[in-house]
DNA sequence: CACATTTGTGAAAGAAGTTTGAAATCGCGC
DNA sequence: GCGCGATTTCAAACTTCTTTCACAAATGTG
């Protein structure tokens, strides 16, 4: 299981721990930063799926940090703001924040907002032709695939097959379905060809090959 | 692989080594200078992608060196400043520095700032119609191309094709796409024409020709 | 447990796409 | 209209990918 990673930026350790607990209960992996500099350092080092950013911080406020993050990354940012700072909403969202949540908040609300922001980010990425499943990244326009940052060279059919399955993740397709959808309706070859491509895909994708699953008696599916 | 080159200017050797180590771990090539004169000498001799400039130096402080660099170059400059010299920020940035970073800093923060500055510089160059990929430089307005400082003479179609691909780097185009985008929607010739132009481009660009990649079964793309 | 069916694998033939060199054609300046 | 560089066409040589096939391994069944 690859957990999604959230970076919590808040000067108060207590708040970080509290939020971190909520998130970990909900199955996220948490990183913490006490100020903007730490946050930037972490973001530069490892991929993060979302940032929770406190607005009120001593050294640099959340908006300044948000602006600096946006210089180098379009990671989704969710502001945490105390009651009565509502005016900040506009300011924050204009600066490239994706949502804001007013303290005090319930675990449920936090998770719901976070999931919503992550869903939106995923959709937006997919509209740009970039699919991401944990360590597996697929770039439709560039026709490239990377596993854990490492480029993997795929042939035409391998790429098309992977892309199709990934775009329709969760759905099972028979070999004949795949021949029609990926090879074209007028393809007349042997259905076992699909097996061979699945084999090479799994081999080339290493660990990430587990996304392509065999459904015995039916065919294959991509599980993301 | 063409590494990006960073010039570190600091009177303390220890600091130069430390920073140099950080940068080399992050895949940069490092040059070092102990004072402003050395720095200028190096800048005059070889292309540098960014300068890290210590503010506090005995012979000539960082601001003076920055001003002298700016007389001859618009290379991005990142100041290194000790805590408590915050006022220097304004002065530094006004003098043409692109960012500043307060010591002590983490490797992650250094790299993040540096990448941000380099990205900004690239965007600004591109808005002026100058694209740069390692040793390959394309000037859209002047319709000239240079590889490692050496001018390369391209014909009309060669230049248009290269420019289009470079502007849309990372994206794959079929030969037919390219005929429409570069030759015009009403072009009716043979798609193999593209191959020939790619061939001559690769030949003329020498090493830099590797930026133009064949995507088997689809077409070509520029990888920068 | 033995049998039937389905899936995985490795190697090799076959198919398809790309590169290359040379020749034909185009088109602009003179 | 001529000359010359630029552009396009063409086909052979070459490279890479795709498919097939036979057998091994795994899974489900009576």
- Contact, A32 vs A20, CB < 8 A? yes
- What is the CA angle B78-B28-A60, rounded to 5? 40
Q: In this structure, which long-range contacts are made by residues B133-141, counting pairs with CB atoms below 8 Å and at least 24 apart in sequence? A: B133/B166, B133/B169, B133/B208, B133/B211, B133/B224, B134/B2, B134/B208, B135/B2, B135/B207, B135/B208, B136/B205, B136/B208, B136/B211, B138/B162, B138/B163, B138/B166
- For residue A203, how many other CB atoms are within 10 A of its CB? 9
> Is any atom of strand C within 7 angstroms of residue B184's beta carbon?
no
Residue A220 has pLDDT above 70, yes or no: yes
Closest CA to A74 of A108, A54, A97: A97
- What is the CA angle B84-B86-B89, rounded to 5? 155
Who wins on pLDDT, B85 or A17?
A17
Beta-ladder partners of B139 = B130, B144
CA A95/CA A50 separation, integer angstroms = 16
Q: What is the mean pLDDT of chain A?
A: 91
φ, ψ for residue B30 (rounded to 5)? Answer: -115, 140
Coil/strand/helix, residue A2: coil
Q: What is the mean pLDDT of chain B?
A: 90
Query: For chain B, how far is it from start to end, CA to CA, in angstroms?
Result: 11
Residue B90 has pLDDT above 60, yes or no: no
Q: What is the pLDDT of residue A12?
A: 94
Closest CA to B39 of B15, B68, B17, B82: B68
Q: What is the pLDDT of residues A131-149, one digit of tens each?
A: 999 899 999 999 999 999 9
Name the helix (H) or strand (E) containing A192: helix A192-205
What dihedral angle (degrees, nearest 10) is formed by the CA atoms of B85, A96, A2, A40? -10
Pairing state between β B136-139 and B130-133: antiparallel
Per-residue pLDDT band for B95 (boundaries 50, 70, 90) equals low
Q: Look at A4-13, A100-109, A184-193 and tell me which has the smallest mean pLDDT.
A: A100-109
- Contact, A79 vs A97, CB < 8 A? yes
Q: What is the pLDDT of residues B19-40, one digit of tens each?
A: 999 999 989 999 999 999 999 9
Q: What is the pLDDT of residue A98?
A: 81
Q: What is the pLDDT of residue A56?
A: 85
Q: What is the pLDDT of residue A44?
A: 81
pTM over 0.85: yes
Beta-ladder partners of B33 = B9
Residue A84 has pLDDT above 60, yes or no: yes
Q: What is the pLDDT of residue B145?
A: 97
Per-residue pLDDT, averaged over B45-65, amounts to 90
- Shortest alpha-carbon distance between residue B115 and chain A (Å): 8
- Shortest alpha-carbon distance between residue A157 and chain B (Å): 9
Q: What is the pLDDT of residue B216?
A: 98
Q: What is the pLDDT of residues B162-212, one digit of tens each?
A: 999 999 999 999 999 999 999 999 999 899 999 999 999 999 999 999 999
Q: What is the pLDDT of residue A150?
A: 95
Residue A7 has pLDDT above 70, yes or no: yes
Residue B107 has pLDDT above 90, yes or no: no
Cβ pair B115:A41 closer than 8 A: no
Q: What is the pLDDT of residues B134-158, one digit of tens each?
A: 899 999 999 999 999 899 999 999 9
Q: Which residue of A has its CA nearest to B171?
A: A142
DSSP string, A38-93: HHHHHHHHS--SEEEEES--SSS-HHHHHHHHHHH----EEEEEETT-TTHHHHHH
Who wins on pLDDT, A62 or A199?
A199
Cβ pair B171:A43 closer than 8 A: no
Q: What is the pLDDT of residue B96?
A: 64
What are the Cα distances from residue A14, in Å, to A51, A59, A101, B208?
Answer: 17, 18, 18, 54
Note whether A141 contacts B: Cβ–Cβ < 8 A.
yes
B88 CA vs C9 C1’ separation (Å)? 67
Pairing state between β B144-147 and B136-139: antiparallel
Cβ pair A143:B217 closer than 8 A: no
Neighboring chain A residues of B170 at a CB cutoff of 8 Å: 139, 141-142
Neighboring chain B residues of A44 at a CB cutoff of 8 Å: 108-109, 111-112, 115
The percent of residues in chain B predicted with pLDDT above 70, rounded, is 93
Q: What is the pLDDT of residue B109?
A: 80
Name residues 153-182 of chain B within 8 A of A (Cβ): 170-172
Q: What is the pLDDT of residue B202?
A: 97
Of A44, A143, A155, the CB nearest to B112: A44
Nearest nucleotide (CA of B156 to C1'): D6
Coil/strand/helix, residue A120: helix
φ, ψ for residue A50 (rounded to 5)? Answer: -160, 160
Q: What is the pLDDT of residues A29-75, one digit of tens each?
A: 999 999 888 898 888 878 899 999 998 888 888 888 898 898 888 99
DSSP state of A208: G
Residue B88 has pLDDT above 60, yes or no: no
């Amino acid at each position: 299981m690859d957990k999604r990673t959230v970076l919590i930026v808040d000067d108060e350790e207590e708040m970080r721990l509290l939020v971190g607990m909520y998130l970990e209960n909900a199955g996220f992996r948490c990183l913490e930063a006490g100020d903007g500099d730490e946050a930037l350092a972490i973001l530069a080092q490892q991929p993060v799926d979302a940032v929770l950013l406190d607005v009120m911080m001593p050294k640099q406020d959340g908006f300044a940090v948000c602006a600096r993050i946006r210089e180098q990354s379009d990671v989704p940012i969710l502001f945490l703001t105390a009651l009565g700072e509502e005016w900040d909403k506009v300011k924050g969202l204009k600066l490239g924040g994706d949502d804001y949540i007013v303290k005090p908040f319930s675990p449920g609300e936090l998770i719901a907002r976070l999931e919503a922001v992550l869903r939106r980010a995923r959709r937006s990425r997919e509209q740009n032709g970039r699919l991401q499943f944990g360590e597996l990244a697929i770039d439709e326009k560039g026709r490239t695939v990377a596993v854990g940052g490492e480029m993997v060279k795929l042939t035409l059919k391998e790429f098309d097959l992977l892309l199709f399955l990934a775009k329709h993740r969760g759905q099972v397709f028979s070999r004949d379905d795949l021949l029609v959808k990926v090879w074209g309706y007028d393809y007349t070859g042997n259905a076992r060809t699909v097996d061979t491509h699945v084999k090479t895909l799994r081999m080339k994708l290493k660990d990430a090959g587990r996304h392509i699953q065999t459904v015995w008696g039916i065919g294959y599916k991509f599980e993301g």
